[in-house]
Amino acid sequence: MDQLHVLLQILAQGVSIGGVYALVALGFVLIYKATRVLNFAQGHLVLLGAYLYFFFAVELNLNPLLAIVISSAIAAIIGFSIERFLLRKMLGEPLLSIVMLTLALTYIIRGSVQILWGGQYLALEGKTIFPNEALILGPIRLGYPYVGGLAASLVIVGVFTVFFLKTRTGIAMRAVANDQQAAFAVGINVFRIFALSWAISSVVAVLGGVVFANIFGGVNINFESVGIKVFPAVIIGGLDSVPGAIVGGFLLGILESIAKLYLNPVFGGNFHEVFSLLIMLAVLLIKPYGLFGTEEIERL
């Protein structure tokens, strides 16, 4: 029974952290659906979001909710600027050049964070959104930061889902994602949609950084690794699928937790991180476009 309790505890934590992974994966998918650009800087935007929250909440001693609003606004400006002044200049250029540009952004963001705040762990010093107590559900004892992180991720994902399905702008973004030429033909400002996609994706990444900071009680330069960690979730779910990003995020969190419990003691080290990549490879062998990705068939 004790082993069962441990498994339930690990699965609960996996679901909680999987919600945050789903949130970050959503940012990847938003940009790829609209622009067909894979943003390798997404994880570093998560890092930037965590430190922006730390700056406003701790260093400027603002209300945590106000700090989130300001950080999100700055993220939207950053995302819009990246598309308007960098990516738009690259239209028609080889895909490799665009990939290298997003990789360059990762070094710029990381370097800026290290210059401004250094690379050490910085505690939020009482500016966390969630209480430090634990929620006890039978045999499961789960910290409120994990529960709050899951709840916040679900709310954010839900809000953006409603936005895409019900609002005029959201429908326009879906139209651009499906067929850019047809969207042009019916009068949709595709460049505006591109910029908006980058802005929203940056906001989603920053909110993910805020949730991570609250779960761990502080900020750390290693938050940048979440982009690489979440990448298997994006591939598993499908690069152009919003539901796939959500399912992939939760699946990654659960599999990672199970691997920590059962595989790390056998293979040693951080095998759970390799395990997620192995699962990604297995899915690609069976379904190259991911579980929910759109299969593209070219006829010659």
Our CA dihedral for 10, 15, 18, 19, rounded to 10 degrees, sits at -150
* Cβ neighbours of residue 106 closer than 8 Å, sequence gap 6 or more: 40, 41, 43, 44, 224, 227
Write down the residue that tokens 């700055």 correspond to. Answer: 74
Residue 274 lies in a domain: no
Cα(24)–Cα(45) distance, integer angstroms:
10
Q: What is the DSSP letter of 295?
A: P
Contact 276, 282 (CB under 8 A): no
Q: Is residue 273 part of a domain?
A: no
- 214-269 pLDDT, tens digit per residue, is 888 999 998 888 888 888 899 889 888 888 888 999 999 999 988 988 888 888 77
Residue 71 DSSP label: H
Other C-beta atoms closer than 10 Å to the C-beta of 135 total 14
Q: Which domain holds residue 87?
A: 2-223
Q: Is residue 290 part of a domain?
A: no
Q: What is the pLDDT of residue 45?
A: 94
Over the chain, what is the mean pLDDT? 86
Give the chain's domain count. 1
**Coil vs helix vs strand at 239:** coil
pLDDT over threshold 80, residue 176: yes
pTM confidence score: 0.89
Sequence-distant (6+) residues with CB within 8 A of 208 are 20, 23, 24, 27, 46, 49, 153, 226
In a domain, 244, yes or no: no
* Beta-carbon contacts of residue 134 (< 8 Å; ≥ 6 apart): 141, 142, 143, 144
How far, rounded to the nearest angstrom, does the alpha carbon of residue 224 sit from its chain's CA centroid?
11
Give 6-19 pLDDT, tens digit per residue.
788 888 888 888 88
In a domain, 213, yes or no: yes
Residue 291 forms part of a structural domain: no
Which tens digit of pLDDT belongs to each residue from 112-134? Answer: 999 999 888 999 988 888 877 77
- Structure confidence at residue 66 (pLDDT): 96
In a domain, 239, yes or no: no
In a domain, 145, yes or no: yes
How many whole angstroms separate alpha carbon 31 and alpha carbon 43? 13
